[in-house]
Structure 1
């Protein structure tokens, strides 16, 4: 089937119609409610709740426990319940939990709310990455992934501005400024979640905002790029609903999920993302504190945290556009990771120069945020089919966010103002990401070459009149195998 099925629908206009900026709002609020604890600390959270440095880091770490474990189950539920239901429901609950953070009166209360915040936010990142991957061809996906992913950089900028404003409410109704940060931002999230129930798009196969002709065009565009989505794939071979067949079907589904992990590239995807999560989370959690140690007041530190985030957003969008135009990922992901590494080297080598430190924070923000978005898009869009994309995206984000635990303990207050340990850890994980990305690139290059040899051998056998696989059989095999099919080519 070709694009000639439509004479009335313009493909550019269709792309505008299917672009999903509402996901950016959802992801933006998730990141804001996760990272605003770094703003709250500057307004007395740690002092009012009598938290030691170790206890504060425990509140950061406990968020990632359920966040990591719930990623894959969340993506499975996403497909079963539909994205608009599941994502808006999760968003409403993490907004409520964030609001409750502003009401806690003890360390135990803060730990509890952070735990449930991690649980309810678990579906946001992998769910949105999975949904985006099901809508776009690979050569048009990077700038959209990056706009979505780097909306978090705007959160960093907006969050700093918002926190500086909310900080002025310190003492209003007898509440400290940190309580107002949580309450106002949490309440806003709840309101937005209610609206997004009606705005979040579903998968292309069931999207009601498209006409039947437009859904067919979207399907054809994606089949041409990555093969069938396998949206309606079933594990059993017939429609019988006997108990034995239902049990057999469940076993096959579990086996299909486990089979995804037989591919070594799945583990490389997690490793290269883990390598950038540590410096990125370290920056998000501790940049305001690092800036304050340069001699600024709390509000001045919030305001000075804004420019690096804004710069990172525009840098990431330019890089992503170039990556799409050249249909290449590895060089851009490694190059931007090296930029972040350069920032950490500057922090280690010029620890007493405030101007150099501030400049280094720009490099880390630009390099880490850009590289993370490139790696997520590269890995997710190289997977094909609902099963491999849902499990692969959840694994990458879940495993990668182990880095959030590492980052939380990388900057103990006793190391200030130079934080050599934290900077060294950040640099080491940047190197891990570079090595893993390079291994992934080599792996898919060798796999593409292997498949080229197989196709060439098939063609030669066909020309000699030897028996070959029929076109119908080949298409059925492609539909079953997704990116594992011999005709599929990975984008490097």
Structure 2
């Protein structure tokens, strides 16, 4: 039987041939399942578009709102949050840091609960709770109240990012994934751009109902998230095997094309503590954590402090919000360009390292130039474009190299959770006493981007070595079908994408 290959633009191609031609795993035990025809009245291209329509937009809007609710404190601070709450010294930084404590700790448990309760239930519930918490930031009266709501905001947002990446990875082949990952991740850049525009408009509400403009930023954006959470309870996708908008034939076909690419998903099995432990027996998992960790520092450093940095260039509050938009917009366009090229070439490492080098160039300018505002502002473009283009490539590279629910759910959550420890460092890298040059902050960000490149090299070499070692090993090593499924990407027949 045949299915239509996207790359061949409708020409018939064997699913197994396609998998082997691209270096993907071919596990013989699934041959019967793989011989599935594309359902009548459709082609693979049309089916992928259908999946795109149901999966990507909802997750993008969800994460746009999550990231907006997370970083809008930077926009609120421009309008006087710290002054009205009488924050002194480093109290503003502490309020940023406390968000990351639960956010880091509960990534893996959240992904396990996501699988147990289904994505549309778990993600929409979390969305309602962090939207409500965001709105409550708008009515806090003092520093302790701000700390409390920031802690619970981190707790309720913990499942958004790794959960969405985990879910996307269970819908697409590796040759299709990068554009989808980058488009989803670029919700952060859209949130940054949208947040600046929205904050500029909401700031004009200063004094309405007795609330300052910064309070309205939290209240309105939080209420918007709550409203979407009710819609997304019905709209958010579940895993392919659980979807209600695919016919039985389409489900079988989607499952077959994914098995040809990644092996069996093992969606039916429960994830145990032993599964969690087995994931960490592979050193490449730790390298992947440091890849992301190294980029979180500059990414959050930019997200939380760019409005303050831009304001230091002499702009008014509203001009600052408007000037914060173009770098985010440029980052979105560049991320999609690099993602498209990465999918076309089926390479991840060169694009990840290349984007990180662009961010390094931006920080080098910011460290050395302090009397040329246009050049300094242009350097912010390089930082945003480099960091926010490399991050989705790194997460996609690692996540899509993991096979099976039991390994991908844990590995993805680990990478994101460990990486977000960098958010704590980013918060303390940019202190008020270092303004307006922020030499210390820029130097720390520069160092961590270099760390990310080193981790990328270690992970890439590890994947290359594993592929080479497996190429030299006989295909039939006597494993049962159950053992191959349990091994996931550690299966000797599996090949990593580089």
Shift in Å at residue 350 of structure 1? 1.0
Shift in Å at residue 5 of structure 1? 2.3
1:132, 1:455 → 2: CA distance?
A: 33
RMSD over aligned CA atoms reads 1.1
Taking the TM superposition and a 5 Å limit, the aligned residue runs for 1:123-202 are 123-202=159-238
Say which of 306, 314, 337 aligns to 2:356: 337
Residues 342 and 351, structure 2, Cα contact 8 Å, conserved in 1: yes
Partner of 1:59: 95
Structure 2 CA distance for partners of 1:298 and 1:145, relative to 1, 3 Å: same
Q: Secondary structure at the match of 2:235?
A: coil
Say which of 24, 28, 47 aligns to 2:60: 24
1:445, 1:474 → 2: CA distance?
A: 25
Taking the TM superposition and a 5 Å limit, the aligned residue runs for 1:323-472 are 323-455=342-474, 469=478
2:290, 2:315 → 1: CA distance?
A: 37
Say which of 285, 300, 307 aligns to 2:319: 300
Q: Secondary structure at the match of 1:345?
A: helix
Aligned pair 1:487/2:496, yes or no?
no
Residues 39 and 253, structure 2, Cα contact 8 Å, conserved in 1: no
1:106, 1:419 → 2: CA distance?
A: 28
Residues 275 and 407, structure 2, Cα contact 8 Å, conserved in 1: no
Q: Deviations over 1:29-48 (max 9, x none)?
A: 00000000000001110000
Residues 336 and 368, structure 1, Cα contact 8 Å, conserved in 2: yes
1:455, 1:226 → 2: CA distance?
A: 20
1:429, 1:79 → 2: CA distance?
A: 33
1:489, 1:53 → 2: CA distance?
A: 52
1:389, 1:2 → 2: CA distance?
A: 22
Q: Secondary structure at the match of 1:141?
A: helix
2:313, 2:39 → 1: CA distance?
A: 61
Residues 61 and 408, structure 1, Cα contact 8 Å, conserved in 2: yes
2:34, 2:169 → 1: CA distance?
A: 21
Structure 2 CA distance for partners of 1:3 and 1:157, relative to 1, 3 Å: farther
Shift in Å at residue 478 of structure 1? 2.1
Residues 84 and 200, structure 1, Cα contact 8 Å, conserved in 2: yes
Partner of 1:241: none
1:175, 1:234 → 2: CA distance?
A: 49
Shift in Å at residue 475 of structure 1? 3.6
Aligned pair 1:2/2:41, yes or no?
no
Shift in Å at residue 260 of structure 1? 1.0
Taking the TM superposition and a 5 Å limit, the aligned residue runs for 1:199-278 are 199-234=235-270, 253-278=272-297
1:14, 1:195 → 2: CA distance?
A: 24
Which blocks of at least 5 consecutive residues in structure 2 are unaligned?
A: 1-32
1:300, 1:81 → 2: CA distance?
A: 45
Residues 130 and 157, structure 2, Cα contact 8 Å, conserved in 1: yes
2:486, 2:406 → 1: CA distance?
A: 10
Shift in Å at residue 291 of structure 1? 0.5
Partner of 2:78: 42
Number of matched pairs:
462
Structure 2 CA distance for partners of 1:69 and 1:234, relative to 1, 3 Å: closer
Q: Deviations over 1:406-451 (max 9, x none)?
A: 0001110111110000000000000000000011000000000000
2:327, 2:80 → 1: CA distance?
A: 24
In the superposition, the TM-score normalised over structure 2's length comes to 0.91
Residues 36 and 252, structure 2, Cα contact 8 Å, conserved in 1: no
Structure 2 CA distance for partners of 1:398 and 1:319, relative to 1, 3 Å: same
Residues 3 and 221, structure 1, Cα contact 8 Å, conserved in 2: no
1:313, 1:388 → 2: CA distance?
A: 30
Q: Deviations over 1:118-148 (max 9, x none)?
A: 0000000010010011010001000000000
Q: Deviations over 1:271-315 (max 9, x none)?
A: 000000000000000001100100101110100000000011011
In the superposition, the TM-score normalised over structure 1's length comes to 0.92
1:305, 1:429 → 2: CA distance?
A: 23
Q: Secondary structure at the match of 1:328?
A: coil
Partner of 2:150: 114
